[in-house]
Amino acid sequence: MSDKIPESELKAWQEYLQDPDHNEHNKEEPSPDIKLLTIDLHHRTLAQSEQILEKTIKHALESNIYKIKIITGIGKSHEQEFGTLYKEIPRFLEHGKIKQLIQKYERPTNNPGTLMVKLKKPS
């Protein structure tokens, strides 16, 4: 087995390094219609998180963004099964000041420390 990289592979690698975003291997182009805003609430209190969510959701709607990923974390500890944000943020989405702006939300099974929120589009 040779340790030398074939010339064709070396050239392809060098081209990729020069411009990784415009490479033939990057076949998937993100859809310009899909906008997702992500909020990480780790290390925030519930009050801080609620304020951040209110401001962010209003900003998202003003910017025509209707999908938000909220990272709460799970917050497991030896004292409790789930953390405060994990339990309380869904309640805030359902019953808080912003409930009329929320179309639906779900907690993905493959990443239970997040909530995927879909906002209502203005009529």
For the record, the structure tokens of 31 come out as 């859809």
The more confident residue out of 119 and 11 is: 119
- The class of domain 36-119 in CATH terms is alpha beta
Lowest mean pLDDT among 25-34, 57-66, 83-92: 25-34
Name the pTM for this structure: 0.69
Please tell me the predicted confidence (pLDDT) of residue 28.
Answer: 44
Give yes or no for residue 123 having a pLDDT over 90: no
Distance (Å, whole) CA 87 – CA 31:
33
Least Cα distance to 41 among 9, 78, 4, 88 occurs for: 88
**Mean pLDDT across the stretch 93-110?**
94
31-71 pLDDT, tens digit per residue, is 555 689 999 999 999 999 999 999 999 999 999 999 999 99
End-to-end alpha carbon distance in the chain = 65
- What pLDDT sits at residue 101? 96
**Residue spans per domain, the chain:** 36-119
